[in-house]
Amino acid sequence: MAANQKVQTQESIGFLARFFKLAQNGTSVRTEFIAGLTTFVTMAYIIIVNPITLEAAGMDRGALITATIIAATVSTLVMGLWANWPMALAPGMGLNAFFAYVLCGAMGLPWQTALGAVFISGILALIVTLTGLREIMIKAIPTSLKHAVSAGIGFFILLIGLKNAGVVIASEPTLVALGSLKTAGPLLAMVGLLITGALVARKIPGAILIGIAVTTVLGVPFGVTKLPEAIMAMPPSLAPIAFKLDIMAALVPAMITVIFSMFFADLFDTIGTFVGVAGKAGLLEKDGTLKGGSRALVADSCGTIIGSLVGTSNTTSYVESAAGIAAGGRTGLTAVFVALFFILAAFFSPIFLAVPGAATAPALIIVGILMATPLLEIDLNDFTVALPAIITALMMPFTFSIATGLAIGFTSYVLLNVLTGKAAKVHWMMYVLTAFFLYYFYAH
237 phi, psi to nearest 5 deg: -65, 145
Please give the average per-residue pLDDT across 397-402, as a whole number: 82
CA count, 13 A, side-chain hemisphere, 225: 25
pLDDT in the model for residue 332: 93
Please give the average per-residue pLDDT across 405-430, as a whole number: 91
| Core vs surface per residue 257-275: b (16+ CB within 10 A) or e | bbbbbbbbbbbbbbbbbbe
Q: What is the DSSP secondary-structure string of 145-191? A: HHHHHHHHHHHHHHHHHHHHHTSEEEETTTEEEE--TTSHHHHHHHH
pLDDT in the model for residue 257: 82
Asked if pLDDT for residue 438 goes beyond 80, the answer is yes
pLDDT in the model for residue 262: 86
Asked if pLDDT for residue 261 goes beyond 90, the answer is no
- The alpha-carbon radius of gyration of the chain (Å, integer) is 22
CA count, 13 A, side-chain hemisphere, 115: 22
pLDDT in the model for residue 360: 85
Query: 423 pLDDT band (50/70/90 cuts)?
Result: very high
Query: 70 pLDDT band (50/70/90 cuts)?
Result: very high
Q: Report the C-alpha gap between 440 and 444 in whole angstroms.
A: 6
Query: 404 pLDDT band (50/70/90 cuts)?
Result: confident
Least confident of 42-51, 103-112, 291-300, 422-431: 291-300
Q: Is the pTM of this model over 0.85?
A: no
Please give the average per-residue pLDDT across 158-180, as a whole number: 87
Asked whether the beta carbons of 176 and 168 are under 8 A apart, the reply is yes
Instruction: Give Cβ neighbours of residue 30 (< 8 Å, ≥ 6 apart).
Output: none
Type of residue found at 272: G
Please give the average per-residue pLDDT across 210-228, as a whole number: 90
- Angle between the N-to-C axes of helices 402-419 and 256-281, in degrees from 0 to 180, rounded to the nearest 10: 80
Asked if pLDDT for residue 304 goes beyond 80, the answer is yes
Q: Alpha helix (H) ranges present in 254-401?
A: 256-281, 293-310, 321-326, 332-345, 349-354, 357-371, 383-399
Centre a 10 Å sphere on the Cβ of residue 150 and count the other Cβ atoms it contains.
25
Asked whether the beta carbons of 54 and 112 are under 8 A apart, the reply is no
Q: Is 235 helix (H, G, I), strand (E, B) or coil?
A: coil
Which residues in 99-150 belong to E strands, given as ranges? none
Please give the average per-residue pLDDT across 321-350, as a whole number: 91
Beta bridge partners of 284: 290
Q: Report the C-alpha gap between 202 and 209 in whole angstroms.
A: 14
